[in-house]
Structure 1
Amino acid sequence: MSQIDSAITTANPIYKPPPAWRTTLGMLWRDKFAFAAACILLVVIFCAIFGPMLFEDVATRQNLRGRNAPPFDLSRGWLFILGGDQLGRPLLARIIVASQNTMAVAAGAVACSLLIGTGLGLIAGYTTKTASQVIMRLADVIMSFPSLLLAVIVLYVLEPSVGNLVIVLAITRIPIYLRTSRAEVLEVRERMFVQAAQVMGASTKRIVARHILPVVAPTLITIATLDFAFVMLAESSLSFLGIGIQPPEITWGLMVSQGRPYLTSAWWLSFWPGLAIILTTLSLNLLSGWMRTALDPSQRWRLEVNKEKAKND
């Protein structure tokens, strides 16, 4: 319940505040940039889930008569609105199908690094000094290697695949969540409600799960949204270098790499998948900015004040 709804409920006990989901959607609708970003991400997620089932056959069917077909030429069908690639396959269908691998790698890496990093950060921030020092030195070791360089070395030794790519990118991102969650826990553990729970005899697991984690979670979710964009760009970079996902599998970064020899004669082979990467990462950055305000109780009132101003106008 928001602060404004709480005040209204106190003054008028009959008043029932709107559901939380409706309030959140209302705040999102009033921020047009964040709303547009959410719509774009929903389209990308829909394509990643259902795209391969609908267009996988079309995306892999070769037609040398339509190789490097120019965009906006609908004589070959609406799937060629973005043009064809070097083997005559429609770029639109390939971008839709490639979204699954791109999003799967980014989502898997972010989810693994978020869970492992947050767990280690909670342990390092709320347990003994020895455990904290061991965990933080582990984070320092991981951070001492450049993330892309570590990924290049590991993927050069191992077979490039979706699973290996997720593992490598997850390992390189763990210190981000570890250090952030530990810093948040060190601050939250000194607050009065945590000390009150300790005095009442609550166990360590209960204090961490019920009192500390809910306060730390909004910050970590915001970081994960930003990190999703970074991991997606890292995967695209590795695929562009040729050590990421290998054909016949496709990702947006691999499509950009495959279109590089044709930049002077068929620019659209690299332009459209590159545009998909840019739009997705930009949408994630815009949405993370909105989430930073919406999930922070000390900042959420700004969106609620804008709601009241919109009603008065």
Structure 2
Amino acid sequence: MAHIDQVSPTQPELPDAPNPIAQTLRMLWNDKFAFVSTVFLLLVVFCAVFGPLLFEDIATKQNLRGRNAPPFDFEKHWLFWLGGDALGRPLLARIIVAAQNTIFVAAGAVFFSLVIGTSLGLLAGYTTHNISQVIMRLADIIMSFPSLLLAVIVLFMLESSVFNLVIVLAITRIPIYLRTARAETLEVRERMFVQAARVMGASTRRIIFRHILPVVFPTLITIATLDFAFVMLAESSLSFLGIGIQPPEITWGLMVSQGRPYLTTAWWLSFWPGLAIILTTLSLNLLSHWMRTALDPAQRWRLENVGKKNG
């Protein structure tokens, strides 16, 4: 009897799954405004991390013979291309060094308010009515005070420092994340996959962090990007009023405040740090708009198809 080989039918090869990092970079490249904003923000972060290590000595060294040196004098050191301040210190070096405190305050306040507000919002949206009411009333108490006014009052009573500024600004921003997370949780908890997890006996902690948080988090990240710009402006306003970070520490807002008496004679003292604040907040807003589209499955196709249409 002849031996008949049993040949199994060949299975079609499945296409490789797209690399999420490459796909994200491609979508970012398709949106030129978001791409330029990201490059600029990476430059700001680089200055915040390495600026004090490279230029702190130059930024603090006084030279009264070069006080209020005008900008665009290319015969001097390149750090004086934006001019010098009232004590003869190069403005470009001081802007680079000041990026660290400015970004640190904004990032710290946004991080703490995001973590605390999201945790309380998830708890208020999923647990019992009594717990939700207590949490929401605390949020209402904080929101009843204007955020900047509350920060002014607290910082006036406490010592002005980087740590106190981060804590005060974080407390004033907690209700935003809390209310957003609660509203999203109230909607997500009624979906079929959450109800199925509840019927299967999943714990409350697992349901919140495994099933609800991944759905809620993209919206919160988008809000955090916008809030980063607001907190940075709030820090600049407090420093401008003289109750924020105090010398010898330096921020962009403090530089604007220090240049105010010389607006008519040395406009560049306030102009360049003010321009840094404007460009950073504008870049954050543009990046936030891109993130909102990229993280939404119903809108992501717009960014994915831009390159195909141009091609």
How big is each residue's C-alpha offset from its partner over 1:56-92, in whole Å with a ceiling of 9 and x where there is no partner? 0000000011100000102221000000000000000
Q: Secondary structure at the match of 2:195?
A: helix
Residue 302 (structure 1) shift? 1.7
Residue 16 (structure 1) shift? 1.1
- In structure 2, the partner of 1:107 is 107
Q: TM-score, normalised by structure 1?
A: 0.95
Q: Which amino acid aligns with 1:122?
A: L
- In structure 2, the partner of 1:49 is 49
* CA distance in 1 between partners of 2:200 and 2:219 (Å): 28
Q: Which amino acid aligns with 1:166?
A: V
- In structure 1, the partner of 2:254 is 254
Structure 2: segments with no counterpart, 5+ residues: 1-11
* CA distance in 2 between partners of 1:98 and 1:14 (Å): 52
How big is each residue's C-alpha offset from its partner over 1:11-60, in whole Å with a ceiling of 9 and x where there is no partner? x7432133100000000001000000000100000000000000000000
How big is each residue's C-alpha offset from its partner over 1:231-289, in whole Å with a ceiling of 9 and x where there is no partner? 00000000000000000000000000000000000000000000000000000000000
Matched, 1:225 2:225: yes
Residue 307 (structure 1) shift? 3.4
Matched, 1:30 2:22: no
Q: Higher Cα Rg: structure 1 or 2?
A: 2
Matched, 1:143 2:143: yes
- In structure 2, the partner of 1:83 is 83
- In structure 1, the partner of 2:189 is 189
- In structure 1, the partner of 2:160 is 160
Residue 300 (structure 1) shift? 1.1
Q: Secondary structure at the match of 2:250?
A: coil
Q: Secondary structure at the match of 2:75?
A: helix
Q: Which amino acid aligns with 1:192?
A: M
Q: Which amino acid aligns with 2:265?
A: S
How big is each residue's C-alpha offset from its partner over 1:129-156, in whole Å with a ceiling of 9 and x where there is no partner? 0000000000000000011110001000
Residue 296 (structure 1) shift? 1.1
Number of residue equivalences: 301
| Percent identical residues | 79
* CA distance in 2 between partners of 1:77 and 1:307 (Å): 43
* CA distance in 1 between partners of 2:130 and 2:268 (Å): 56
* CA distance in 2 between partners of 1:46 and 1:79 (Å): 17
- In structure 2, the partner of 1:201 is 201
Using the TM superposition, name which of 74-83 and 227-236 deviates more: 74-83
Structure 1: segments with no counterpart, 5+ residues: 1-11
Using the TM superposition, name which of 172-181 and 193-202 deviates more: 193-202
Q: Which amino acid aligns with 2:175?
A: P
How big is each residue's C-alpha offset from its partner over 1:281-312, in whole Å with a ceiling of 9 and x where there is no partner? 000000000000001112112212223323xx
- In structure 1, the partner of 2:265 is 265
* CA distance in 1 between partners of 2:194 and 2:307 (Å): 33
Residue 114 (structure 1) shift? 0.2
Q: TM-score, normalised by structure 2?
A: 0.95
Matched, 1:214 2:229: no
Residues 172/280 of structure 1: CA separation in 2 closer, same or farther (3 Å cut): same
- Determine which structure has the larger helix proportion and give its number: 1
Q: Which amino acid aligns with 2:202?
A: A
- In structure 2, the partner of 1:59 is 59
CA RMSD of aligned residues (A): 1.1
